[in-house]
Structure 1
Amino acid sequence: MYFQHSPRIRAEHPDLVVGVLYAEGVAGEPRVDLPVADLHAVARERLTTGSEGGFPEIQAWRRAFARMGLAPTRYRCASESLLRRLRTEGTLPVLHPLVDLGNAVSAAYAIPVGILDVDHVAGGIEVRHAQGDERYLTFTGAEEHPDPDEVVFADEAGRAHARRWTNRQSGWSAVRDGTSRILVVVEAMHAGADRDVPRLLDTLAGELTRGWGVAVRRALLGAATPRFAA
């Protein structure tokens, strides 16, 4: 299992800061209560100062989406969508302990967090521009083909595990009951991302260890270390 960004992605987005985390043995319920409500409270407190669209973390992703030709208020990064829902509805849905934790951390830090079930990824993941023949599975079970040149999470079998980069994850590798091995991907582009991404990884790693008693591997990816292998 590996994870990397294509050279073109790196060249077009030089401010990109990437953190990855790999863990095994996270099936079942956590053995302790996770601080999901506390993380929601952190996000809500920040939202009292203004809407999520003004956060520098979100602004950076909006600029990136605009560079990709996507309308930023039509296609939002995952963390913006979570914050918007938290602001308008007051809470986030309860889905699965791992997903709920990832969503809460994402909202608290205003940074997209993707969690993939490694057992449903063929070979590894490269974030790259789509050719247009990749297969994307929606959460309702329908298959789509990404637009040519769209940024996707592609595996070696030609499956797209995310569309429009951090906009929408796929059903192929979504966390489900029985998920045991996960790869967590954290991506940011704002000023201070080199400080915030490691802090986010620390938070998530600590809660995975506390909740499931597992050891985690994590890394920051950049020009010198562009690839993570598990």
Structure 2
Amino acid sequence: MRFRHAPELRAAHPGLAAGVVAADGVGLEAVADRRGIDERFAADQHAALERLAVDGPGQQPEIQAWRRAFAAMGLKPTQYRCAAESLLRRLAKAGDLPRIHPLVDLCNAASAAAAIPVAVIDRDRVVGDLEVRYARGDEEYATFVGEIEHPAAGEVIFADDAGRAHARRWTHKQSGWSTVRPSTSRVLIVAEALHDGAGDDVSALVARLAGDIERFWPAAPHRAVLTSQRPELQVDDPATTTRAR
């Protein structure tokens, strides 16, 4: 499996920084330190609340960069929000984040603390390669209630070789098809940012997430930061051997 951003998308967004973590053996039954996960979740949620005490979700520079990108793509930033902004808005309103799955919880809390969108994708639900690209208009996207939608031509999606869209509107909405579930064992985690200093922030975020996985599961995750000079990651399945190129 290869993960990359299409060259034309990178050309349109030259400030894009993307970090990727590939891990196997992260199922529910394999969790080695649930207390540690709870503590890490609480610490990141607290950090996100401290961030919100200074500026609202829409005023975070990391979120503003995504709002500008969404507006440039013809999307209303107040109607379609990146995943990190949605989490921060939920946290500001409810005071806490939902608990879904230990790995998803860790990634959501880290996403909110950094104000950087993070997607967690079940690799076994992806056919062939996964590319962030402009939609043709014939791809299929499964909602969380099982309905099938077709992203409009030109919309930014995470697309696999079978024509399935695993996310719509770039970092706005992940597909219900490849979300993490109790049976999930192998994942691809993707963090993306566009703000000034995004490269350093994304690098730190994926290093942190890879370290958490290694600590809380008996797993040996691999990570890479992708740039225009190093645009893709090859994940050699079924073993968790990865190389960036």
Aligned ranges 1:206-225 → 2 under 5 Å: 206-225=211-230
**Is 1:188 the equivalent of 2:193?**
yes
Aligned twin of 2:21? 21
2-side partners of 1:203 and 1:222: how far apart?
A: 19
Shift of 1:213: 2.1
Match of 2:238 in 1: none
Aligned pairs for 1:1-230 (under 5 A) are 1-29=1-29, 30-32=31-33, 33=35, 34=37, 35-230=40-235
Structure 2 unpaired stretches of 5+: 236-245
Contact 2:166–2:178 (CA under 8 A) maintained in structure 1: yes
Structure 1 segments (4+ residues) deviating >2 Å: none
Question: Structure 1 length as normaliser, TM-score?
Answer: 0.98
What is the SS of the residue equivalent to 2:85? helix
- SS of the equivalent of 2:28 reads coil
Partner amino acid for 2:32?
R
Aligned residues: 230
Distance 2:85 2:218 in 1: 30
Letter in 2 for 1:31: A
Structure 1 regions of 5+ residues with no counterpart? none
Amino acid at match of 2:221: V
**2:145 aligned partner, one-letter code:** T
Equivalent residues of 2:207, 2:223 under 8 A apart: no
Query: Contact 2:120 / 2:187 at 8 angstroms: preserved in 1?
Result: yes
Distance 1:66 1:153 in 2: 19
Separation (CA, whole Å) in 2 of partners of 1:189 and 1:7: 16
**Residue 28 of structure 1, CA deviation:** 1.5
Provide the rounded CA distance (Å) in 2 between the counterparts of 1:200 and 1:66: 26
Task: Report the residue type matching 1:58 in the other structure.
Answer: I
RMSD over aligned CA atoms reads 0.8
